[in-house]
Amino acid sequence: MNILKKYEYILKNLDCADCANKIQNKLLENPDYKNVIVNFNTLKLTLESELENVKPEIVKVIGKLEPEVEVLDIKSKNINNENLSKTKNYNLYRLIVGIIVMILGVYVKLPGYTNLILTISAYVILLFRTAKNAIKLLMKKTIDENFLVTISCIGAYFVGQQAEGLMVIVLYELGKILEEKAINNTRKSIAELMNIKPEYANVKHEDHEYKVTPEEVNVGDIIIVKQGEKIPIDGIVVEGNAYLNTSSLTGEAKLQETVVGNPVLSGSINEKGLIQIKTTKKYEDSTVNKILELVENATDKKAKTETFVNKASRIYTPIVLILALLVAILLPIISDTTYIESIYRALIFLVVSCPCAIVISVPLSYFSGIGKASKSGILIKGSNFLDSLKDVSTIAFDKTGTLTKGKFEVEKIKSFTNKYSEEEILKYAAIGEANSNHPIAIAILNKYGKQINNDDVSDFEEIAGKGLSYKIDDKIIKIGNHELVEYEEEKDIGTTIYVKIDEEIIGSILLNDTIKQEAKSVIKNLKSLGIKTMMFTGDNDKIAKKVGQEIEIDEIKSEMLPTDKYDEMEKIIGNRKANEKIVFVGDGINDSPVLAISDIGISMGGIGASSAIEASDVVIMTDDLNKIEEAIHISKVTNNIIKQNLIFALSIKIIVLILSVLGLAQMWMAVFADVGVTLLTILNTIRILKRK
């Protein structure tokens, strides 16, 4: 069995969302192509195939559908983010010349056949691009808005409405130019929000320094980051100190001080200082690249609204074409209307039929919402998840590291026997926890504070939800909760870890965690939105109730193993109403099964943690719980904008269609119902990016 290879291309000059859907659907017809996605927002085509060199066939298919679209390799030097659309100055110049010729031909009385020649010349100049595209596509048995507008304008000429026919194409061309510019500006605004990719890296080699692209840096290389530069690759500081701006990654404006030994993330900006970093990842695995990939590909996972609109748009234009034909034929039969008048009204039908306003505004809105969230340090992995956040009915929180800081401190060590001192009890616990990244393990290791030699450790085993065991010096050591060591739990408020050697429990370690400052207010705000709040924790009931009561959470589930959390989440999902969404918020590592089964899994403090990014649907790049409420707010704003755009676009089109049948609409109204409405919905969509 051959391995599927991933291919990525940029579709230069693609300026129509409906055209993007047509290309995607056509490529999907080829059984050799899998997971075909044409992202109109990023002008990117991705697909997988077992075939070698698929580009020639792709160019051929796209050339038939969209002759002006150019297929470029993703790393092509010809790609210019400022100029991936076909809005060129010559289109504007052609429009200006056409308007001048039109004015002379239609509105200025000239001798002989001059007016006729100038009027026909204006038609040729103004209709050149639209008619050319229409003819190319018609030859390939495809009809789109270019054909509809061309037929309408030519039809207007032959029914004696030459001036109006010219005005239609003038307004249409002007609208297309403005529409393309608005789309490019929106893309540019989102690109500026996510302008975090480093352009170069200063690699140190012996006593020399040379500049390379981030992709050329290897793991283990030493790179120099000067003041004002972006960190290109994740790594560890080996020399110097600096103050880093991580706002582009986390939304946190406060500068972070970093010194030797500290890990640093690509995309951070060195605001003050000079540091040398030993890289720990390749660029393709770095934090900044993962963020950019997530944002860029997020709209590939389409929301239900977007999917419905794309499907509806396929049948929308054919239906209007049939209706227009019926208007032209039947209207004179059932009324006093002449065939000239009925044909004119049918032509208005054709101009209105293009679904661009609907098809463009929906994906562009989701793209803008995801870009806005990313700027705030909230990574949303798909339009579907952004859309679902508005319907959240229940949020279940993990406790440790989510509602609490997850930074335990050893409060008390107690010895149960004279054979072992408190220091020895701590030492056995530290040896066992040396291989763990759990907050409790970190607290124990920090308290011990000495170098640990694990050479004599054998038979190490982690027991899910209970603790661990290992063997050293022929002794079986167990470190964990009261269930693991089979001991009646002490009544201290906090997390108690017991140390057992062979069959004797030699002591305990009491640790305590701190509730996050914003936890209570966030829970209150979520409840005010009608969202039920829950807490899942493996801690004992006493600790869980203390935390839960302090932050006033609705429901507390304590002493849960990972399997218990999974089962409880499965039960909640099974009992939810049809349109409700259930969220689980955790650290993305220990709770990955629950994150996966929930409708929306949110990882907290996922910065630099690939496991968090993989396990969840939304990644909060800081530990700030307020970001959850902000993500829900962005979802609701985006949804409201989409509703406004759809209602506005459909209402205008329906009104103009009715007026055209009644003979009360002119062609300029039809043009407004097409390109005018499209432009207004795009401008309305930009509000998502501008909102505070």
Q: List, for residues 566-582, the tens digit of each pLDDT value.
A: 899 999 998 888 889 99
> Measured between alpha carbons, how far is 469 from 462 in angstroms, rounded to an integer?
7
pTM beyond 0.85: the answer is no
Beta strands in 170-288 (DSSP E): 201-205, 208-212, 222-225, 235-245, 256-258, 263-264, 269-279
Question: Cα angle vertex 313, ends 617, 381, to 5°?
Answer: 10
Please, how many CA atoms are within 13 Å of residue 426, restricted to the half-sphere of its CB? 21
Q: What is the mean pLDDT of residues 467-473?
A: 90
Whether the Cβ atoms of residue 74 and residue 65 lie closer than 8 Å to each other: no
Q: What percent of the chain has pLDDT over 90?
A: 21
More confident residue, 31 or 293: 31
Q: Which fold has domain 201-291?
A: 2.70.150
More confident residue, 295 or 114: 114
**What number of other Cβ atoms are within 10 A of residue 105's Cβ?**
22
Active-site residue, 387 included: no
| Mean pLDDT for all residues in the chain | 82
Whether the Cβ atoms of residue 24 and residue 37 lie closer than 8 Å to each other: yes
Please, what is the angle between helix 677-685 and helix 162-193, to 10°? Answer: 10
Residue 371 has pLDDT above 60, yes or no: yes
Q: Which of 18, 387, 391, 398 is catalytic?
A: 398
Q: Among 143-157, 209-223, 263-277, 297-311, which stretch is predicted with the lowest mean pLDDT?
A: 297-311
**What tokens were used for 211?**
């500049």
CB neighbours of 615 closer than 8 A, spacing ≥ 6?
Answer: 588, 589, 591, 592, 595, 596, 601, 603
Question: Cα angle vertex 556, ends 553, 600, to 5°?
Answer: 75
Whether the Cβ atoms of residue 427 and residue 456 lie closer than 8 Å to each other: no
Q: What is the mean pLDDT of residues 344-373?
A: 77
User: Residue 674: which of 219, 256, 171 has the closest Cα?
Assistant: 171
User: pLDDT value at position 609?
Assistant: 52
Residue-wise pLDDT for 129-170, tens only, equals 888 877 876 776 666 677 777 887 888 788 777 887 788 788
> Measured between alpha carbons, how far is 342 from 339 in angstroms, rounded to an integer?
5
Residue 83 has pLDDT above 60, yes or no: no
> Measured between alpha carbons, how far is 615 from 591 in angstroms, rounded to an integer?
9
> Measured between alpha carbons, how far is 560 from 584 in angstroms, rounded to an integer?
15
Please, how many CA atoms are within 13 Å of residue 672, restricted to the half-sphere of its CB? 12
Beta strands in 416-519 (DSSP E): 458-463, 467-472, 475-480, 495-501, 504-512
Residue type, 50: E
Q: Where in the chain is the domain with CATH 3.30.70.100?
A: 5-73
56-61 LR contacts (CB < 8 Å, sep 24+): 57/30, 58/9, 58/27, 61/23, 61/26, 61/27, 61/30
Q: Where in the chain is the domain with CATH 2.70.150.10?
A: 201-291
Whether domain 378-404+516-621 has CATH 3.40.630.70 = no
Please, what is the angle between helix 114-139 and helix 89-107, to 10°? Answer: 140
What is the length of the chain?
692
Residue type, 228: G
> Measured between alpha carbons, how far is 592 from 600 in angstroms, rounded to an integer?
12
Q: Where in the chain is the domain with CATH 3.40.1110.10?
A: 409-512
DSSP-based three-state secondary structure for 280? coil
Residue 522 has pLDDT above 90, yes or no: yes
3-state secondary structure 542-566: HHHHHHHHHHCCCEEECCCCHHHHH
3-state secondary structure 105-137: HHHCCCCCCHHHHHHHHHHHHHHHHHHHHHHHH
Residue 223 has pLDDT above 90, yes or no: yes
Q: What is the mean pLDDT of residues 83-89?
A: 51
Q: What is the mean pLDDT of residues 118-139?
A: 84
Residue 183 has pLDDT above 70, yes or no: no
Residue 678 has pLDDT above 60, yes or no: yes
User: pLDDT value at position 188?
Assistant: 65
Q: Among 158-167, 587-596, 608-617, 674-683, which stretch is predicted with the lowest mean pLDDT?
A: 608-617
Whether the Cβ atoms of residue 426 and residue 444 lie closer than 8 Å to each other: yes
Residue-wise pLDDT for 639-675, tens only, equals 999 999 888 888 888 888 888 788 787 777 777 777 7
Q: Are strands 532-536 and 392-398 parallel, antiparallel or unpaired?
A: parallel
User: pLDDT value at position 86?
Assistant: 47
Residue-wise pLDDT for 430-448, tens only, equals 998 887 777 788 889 989 8
pLDDT tier, 352 (very low <50, low <70, confident <90, very high otherwise): confident
Residue 272: phi and psi, rounded to 5, are -155, 130
> Measured between alpha carbons, how far is 460 from 469 in angstroms, rounded to an integer?
6
User: pLDDT value at position 251?
Assistant: 60
Residue-wise pLDDT for 539-550, tens only, equals 778 888 888 999
Q: Where in the chain is the domain with CATH 3.40.50.1000?
A: 378-404+516-621
User: Residue 394: which of 599, 679, 125, 656 has the closest Cα?
Assistant: 599
pLDDT tier, 309 (very low <50, low <70, confident <90, very high otherwise): low
Residue 368 has pLDDT above 90, yes or no: no
Architecture of the CATH domain 5-73: 2-Layer Sandwich (3.30)
User: pLDDT value at position 637?
Assistant: 93
CB neighbours of 90 closer than 8 A, spacing ≥ 6?
Answer: none
Please, how many CA atoms are within 13 Å of residue 237, restricted to the half-sphere of its CB? 22
User: pLDDT value at position 393?
Assistant: 95
Question: The domain 409-512 is classified under which CATH number: 3.40.50.720, 3.40.50.2300, 3.40.1110.10, 3.90.1150.10?
Answer: 3.40.1110.10
Residue 212 has pLDDT above 50, yes or no: yes
User: Residue 682: which of 162, 186, 105, 228 has the closest Cα?
Assistant: 186
Residue 77 has pLDDT above 60, yes or no: no
Residue-wise pLDDT for 376-432, tens only, equals 888 888 888 999 999 999 999 988 778 888 778 888 899 998 889 999 999 999 998
User: Residue 19: which of 143, 148, 165 has the closest Cα?
Assistant: 143
